Protein backbone atom coordinates (compact mmCIF):
# COMPACT_ATOMS: atom_id res chain seq x y z
CA UNK A 1 0.00 0.00 0.00
CA UNK A 2 1.08 3.58 -0.66
CA UNK A 3 2.06 6.03 2.07
CA UNK A 4 0.18 9.28 1.63
CA UNK A 5 0.68 12.55 3.46
CA UNK A 6 -1.40 15.70 3.41
CA UNK A 7 -0.63 19.27 4.38
CA UNK A 8 -1.97 21.01 6.32
CA UNK A 9 -3.55 18.50 8.68
CA UNK A 10 -6.02 21.14 9.78
CA UNK A 11 -6.71 24.83 9.33
CA UNK A 12 -9.14 27.50 10.39
CA UNK A 13 -9.84 30.04 7.68
CA UNK A 14 -11.85 33.18 7.20
CA UNK A 15 -14.80 33.42 4.85
CA UNK A 16 -13.81 34.55 1.35
CA UNK A 17 -10.24 33.28 1.49
CA UNK A 18 -8.74 30.26 -0.29
CA UNK A 19 -6.75 27.30 1.00
CA UNK A 20 -4.51 24.95 -0.95
CA UNK A 21 -4.18 21.39 0.33
CA UNK A 22 -1.20 19.29 -0.70
CA UNK A 23 -1.12 15.53 -1.16
CA UNK A 24 2.18 13.64 -1.46
CA UNK A 25 2.53 9.92 -2.26
CA UNK A 26 5.65 7.83 -1.72
CA UNK A 27 5.35 6.09 -5.09
CA UNK A 28 4.28 7.00 -8.60
CA UNK A 29 0.56 6.56 -9.24
CA UNK A 30 -1.54 7.25 -12.28
CA UNK A 31 -4.74 8.29 -10.58
CA UNK A 32 -5.25 10.47 -7.54
CA UNK A 33 -8.63 11.39 -6.12
CA UNK A 34 -9.99 14.13 -3.91
CA UNK A 35 -12.92 13.55 -1.55
CA UNK A 36 -14.93 15.68 0.82
CA UNK A 37 -16.34 14.40 4.09
CA UNK A 38 -18.77 16.84 5.61
CA UNK A 39 -19.47 16.66 9.36
CA UNK A 40 -21.37 13.50 10.19
CA UNK A 41 -21.47 12.47 6.55
CA UNK A 42 -19.72 9.95 4.38
CA UNK A 43 -17.17 10.60 1.66
CA UNK A 44 -18.10 12.25 -1.62
CA UNK A 45 -15.76 12.26 -4.62
CA UNK A 46 -14.88 15.79 -5.77
CA UNK A 47 -12.64 14.99 -8.72
CA UNK A 48 -10.09 12.66 -10.25
CA UNK A 49 -6.65 14.12 -10.94
CA UNK A 50 -4.53 12.55 -13.67
CA UNK A 51 -1.05 13.74 -14.46
CA UNK A 52 -0.80 15.65 -17.71
CA UNK A 53 -4.50 16.33 -18.12
CA UNK A 54 -7.25 18.40 -16.55
CA UNK A 55 -9.00 16.99 -13.54
CA UNK A 56 -12.38 15.33 -14.02
CA UNK A 57 -15.02 16.77 -11.70
CA UNK A 58 -18.07 15.02 -10.33
CA UNK A 59 -21.55 16.46 -10.51
CA UNK A 60 -21.93 19.37 -8.14
CA UNK A 61 -18.24 20.31 -8.11
CA UNK A 62 -16.64 22.86 -10.45
CA UNK A 63 -13.10 23.82 -11.31
CA UNK A 64 -13.54 27.46 -10.31
CA UNK A 65 -14.39 26.44 -6.77
CA UNK A 66 -12.00 23.48 -6.45
CA UNK A 67 -9.04 23.96 -8.80
CA UNK A 68 -6.71 20.96 -8.82
CA UNK A 69 -3.11 20.60 -9.93
CA UNK A 70 -1.27 17.39 -10.75
CA UNK A 71 2.25 18.36 -11.76
CA UNK A 72 3.77 14.85 -11.46
CA UNK A 73 2.96 11.26 -10.54
CA UNK A 74 3.50 11.69 -6.79
CA UNK A 75 1.88 15.02 -5.98
CA UNK A 76 -1.42 16.88 -6.26
CA UNK A 77 -3.04 19.96 -4.78
CA UNK A 78 -6.65 20.89 -4.18
CA UNK A 79 -7.61 24.51 -3.62
CA UNK A 80 -10.83 25.44 -1.88
CA UNK A 81 -11.62 28.89 -3.25
CA UNK A 82 -13.69 31.75 -1.86
CA UNK A 83 -14.56 29.71 1.18
CA UNK A 84 -17.80 29.84 3.10
CA UNK A 85 -18.76 28.04 6.34
CA UNK A 86 -20.46 25.38 4.20
CA UNK A 87 -16.99 24.35 2.99
CA UNK A 88 -16.06 23.22 6.51
CA UNK A 89 -15.20 19.57 5.96
CA UNK A 90 -12.47 17.00 5.96
CA UNK A 91 -10.75 16.86 2.59
CA UNK A 92 -9.07 13.59 1.70
CA UNK A 93 -6.85 12.54 -1.13
CA UNK A 94 -6.54 8.95 -2.20
CA UNK A 95 -4.65 6.86 -4.75
CA UNK A 96 -5.53 3.74 -6.64
CA UNK A 97 -4.87 0.34 -5.15
CA UNK A 98 -5.69 -2.85 -7.01
CA UNK A 99 -7.37 -1.50 -10.11
CA UNK A 100 -9.38 -4.65 -10.76
CA UNK A 101 -11.26 -4.06 -7.51
CA UNK A 102 -11.11 -0.26 -7.60
CA UNK A 103 -9.48 -0.20 -4.20
CA UNK A 104 -8.11 3.06 -2.89
CA UNK A 105 -5.64 4.15 -0.23
CA UNK A 106 -6.38 7.36 1.62
CA UNK A 107 -4.34 10.12 3.13
CA UNK A 108 -4.99 11.27 6.71
CA UNK A 109 -7.18 14.16 5.61
CA UNK A 110 -7.21 17.91 6.09
CA UNK A 111 -9.77 19.23 8.55
CA UNK A 112 -10.95 22.63 7.38
CA UNK A 113 -13.03 25.01 9.46
CA UNK A 114 -14.33 28.18 7.83
CA UNK A 115 -15.49 30.98 10.12
Question: Binders of other proteins: how many residues, by CB under 8 A?
Answer: 27
Instruction: Name which position in 55, 68, 92, 114 contacts other proteins (CB under 8 A).
Output: 92
**58 is a contact residue toward other proteins (CB under 8 A):** yes
Burial degree of 91 (CB within 10 A; 0-12, 13-18, 19+): buried
Q: Smallest distance, Å, CB 9 to other proteins? A: 8
Task: Work out whether the CA dihedral 44, 77, 106, 31 comes out positive or negative.
Answer: positive
Chain-centroid distance, C-alpha 98? 20
Q: Can you give the binding site for other proteins, defined by CB under 8 A? A: 1, 4, 31, 33, 41-45, 48, 58, 92, 94, 96-99, 101-109, 111
Amino acid sequence: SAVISQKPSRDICQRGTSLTIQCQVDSQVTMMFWYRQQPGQSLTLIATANQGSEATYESGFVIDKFPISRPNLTFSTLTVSNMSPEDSSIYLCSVEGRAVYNEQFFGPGTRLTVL
